[in-house]
A and B are shown apart, each in its own frame.
Chain A
């Protein structure tokens, strides 16, 4: 195929057009780039010329072809930016190639239509994207496809982070409640998938309208799993029965490090179940129970259990309707516990007495780095005293 030479015009007063014969190198670079589909290889080309070819490569080249061959981040940056604005590189391992494969896969899954599209094609996409897909973040999954396919280690063998919300983009006036949330069948397939996955470490099922039955199903899958260390079930509808199932996951064999149950419907009994689990659990580092109406009794039980717990470093009981007996327990915790570094007890009702208890207990504690009692009626003076004490401890 012929390659057109460069034409450069000399300014008018010289009254002449000069034409340059391009270097053979440049002619070849163009031809290699244009025919890359037929010959997807750089051979033993040196870095400089390889970069020149890559610069000219089409962004429409089939993914299956170029994935294994093109490592150059410049190419994947161009390709990513042509498809999406606001690319957040840090969410994708700081790699444009990873970003492209992960976002491409997530988008394909979000829009997969099992009626009109072929599942085998999707599986192929999963398989050849696998080397570069570590995180998946999906905001909708209207196909409600079998999650065992998605989490199959033979397809996506590197997946370690998954955030899945069964929502719906741009619904507008077509809103229907049935379009949102995880179905029981989804929980079943997820539970089965979780039994087999060995790579999934972070699972985020926030905002899926999960109720007790659904959570119990999911918990049964996690019980068989030894890879998940971070579990986020915030913003769901989990009540006491569901929480009891989760609490049973926190036994001596548990590998769960981070549990987020913020904004659910946990009450006293749920709180007590968690407290019981905390007594023997050795894996949990961070527990978030904020925005659950656990009540004073439940919170007191949790705080008492946390006092003896030697692994927990972060505890969030913000807005849990904790009150007087919780403050007394909190005082004991601060005096005795040496592993907790951060406690959030804001938005409760401790009163001035509570403020006094906390600031007095803080004097002997050497390990707490932050304790938040704002909006808990402890009074301005105590709030100030507490914050001063902590500040002075950790300023150099």
Chain B
């Protein structure tokens, strides 16, 4: 992962997840935030704060980004994506916000 193609996603607790630009753009919301023509801090610094998304949820979201990249247009069988029941509701709300 070269420095220029990474993005930092920051959870409510301040935990930073450094992931590929391509992975982050699985989320339409993030994609729009990063590629906007205006002068949003996100597009300049390549970092986005999510004060409403807690760390374990944001971690799961990032895992999903890579899962999606890995298996889109794949010719192999796709393995299931595990979601623990106790996170499901929060994850649903986060994914709704992130449009993913």
Contacts and interface: CB of A to CB of B under 8 A. Distances in A.
B88 interface: yes
Interface in A21-75: 21, 23-25, 27-29, 31-32, 34-35, 38-39, 41-46, 49, 53
B71 A28 contact: no
A1 B89 contact: no
Given A19-B71, A24-B61, A3 B95 contact: no
A24 B64 contact: yes
In this complex, the interface size class of chain A, counting residues with CB under 8 Å from chain B, is 20 to 34
Nearest to B98: A24
B80 A28 contact: no
A43 B83 contact: no
A21 B89 contact: no
A49 B92 contact: yes
A120 interface: no
A49 B85 CA distance: 16
Contact of B80 (A2, A16, A24, A39): A2
A53 B88 CA distance: 11
Contacts of A18: 73
Interface in A3-18: 3-5, 16-18
Contacts of A42: 89
Given A19-B77, A21-B71, A23-B100, A32 B82 contact: no
B68 interface: yes
B93 interface: yes
Given A4-B80, A5-B78, A23 B95 contact: yes
Contact of A32 (B64, B67, B89): B89
Contacts of A28: 83, 88-89, 91-92, 95
A3 B81 contact: yes
Nearest to B82: A2
Contacts of B72: 20-21
Contacts of B96: 25, 46, 49
B92 A41 contact: no
B100 A3 contact: no
A25 B100 contact: yes
B2 interface: no
Interface string A211-247: 0000000000000000000000000000000000000
Contact of A2 (B64, B81, B91): B81
A35 B71 CA distance: 26
A31 to B, nearest CB: 4
B86 interface: yes
A34 B91 CA distance: 15
Contact of B83 (A1, A20, A45): A1
Nearest to A24: B95
A24 B64 CA distance: 7
15 contacts: A3-B81, A3-B82, A20-B72, A21-B67, A21-B72, A23-B100, A24-B91, A25-B95, A27-B81, A28-B89, A31-B85, A32-B88, A35-B85, A41-B89, A45-B92
Interface of B: 61, 64, 67-68, 71-75, 77-86, 88-93, 95-96, 98, 100
Interface of A: 1-5, 16-21, 23-25, 27-29, 31-32, 34-35, 38-39, 41-46, 49, 53
